[in-house]
């Protein structure tokens, strides 16, 4: 696919691909509906996000499900635990993350499409990621995320942590985020088995 000004997946000024093409999105939406996920907060996922933030030492943690147009944080932990249900967007002061974010914001869509964990100790060190809207709009400088690979083989979404300053996540951070993702997938499967 060549970069063109009419293709919204490319930044016309730099021709860097900002949001990856996600051909699994329609099937993911169907699977998320089967699981009853991606439309409402899940208290146990909020608790999971809290634990993820504690373990990694990150100020923000999310359990994120992604459809064709948006990301939904069914689990969310923020420093003041203000968990608003509004869309995240530009604001004159530093905004708090809400439950909904556009699909072209952040790094989780990359994790879902590549189906691998992503470690960005300083997003500004990576030209491909430095131009993401979350850098300027909410000051994100560091990201650590892993995909939630369902028993069907589908990447349902991600778990991630972010910080507003560079963080040396290292190999330990990568191992932690991957093991926590596997743990949450087991929890999702238990919910499915229990009919939740």
Number of domains making up the chain:
1
Band (pLDDT 50/70/90 cuts) for residue 18 is: low
* Residue 59 belongs to domain spanning: 25-193
- 177 is a domain residue: yes
- 87 is a domain residue: yes
Percent of the chain with pLDDT over 90: 67
pLDDT at residue 82 greater than cutoff 70: no
Q: 171: which residues sit within 8 A by CB, 6+ positions away?
A: none
- 14 is a domain residue: no
Q: Minimum mean pLDDT among 18-27, 74-83, 93-102: which range?
A: 93-102
- 40 is a domain residue: yes
**pLDDT for the residue 101:** 92
Q: Which residue has the higher pLDDT, 141 or 20?
A: 141
d(CA 9, CA 60): 27
pTM above 0.85, yes or no: no
- 93 is a domain residue: yes
Look at residue 18 and give its three-state secondary structure: coil
CATH at residue 84: 3.30.450.40
**pLDDT for the residue 12:** 41
Between the two ends of the chain, the Cα-to-Cα distance in Å is: 41
């Amino acid at each position: 696919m060549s970069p063109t000004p009419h293709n919204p997946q490319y930044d016309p000024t730099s021709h860097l691909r900002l949001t990856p093409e996600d051909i699994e999105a329609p099937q993911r939406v169907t699977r998320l509906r089967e699981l009853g996920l991606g439309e409402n907060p899940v208290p146990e996922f909020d608790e999971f996000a809290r634990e993820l933030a504690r373990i990694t030492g990150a100020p923000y943690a999310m359990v994120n499900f992604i459809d064709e147009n948006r990301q939904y944080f069914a689990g969310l932990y923020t420093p003041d635990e203000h968990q608003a249900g509004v869309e995240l967007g530009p604001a004159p002061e530093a905004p708090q993350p809400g439950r909904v974010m556009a699909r072209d914001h952040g790094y989780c869509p990359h994790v879902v499409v590549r189906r691998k964990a992503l470690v960005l100790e300083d997003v500004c060190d990576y030209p491909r990621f430095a131009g993401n809207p979350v850098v300027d709009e909410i000051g994100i400088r560091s990201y650590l995320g892993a995909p939630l690979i369902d028993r069907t083989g589908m990447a349902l979404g991600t778990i991630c942590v972010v910080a507003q300053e560079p963080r040396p996540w290292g190999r330990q951070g990568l191992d932690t985020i991957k093991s926590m993702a596997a743990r949450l997938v087991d929890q999702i499967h238990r919910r499915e088995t229990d009919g939740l």
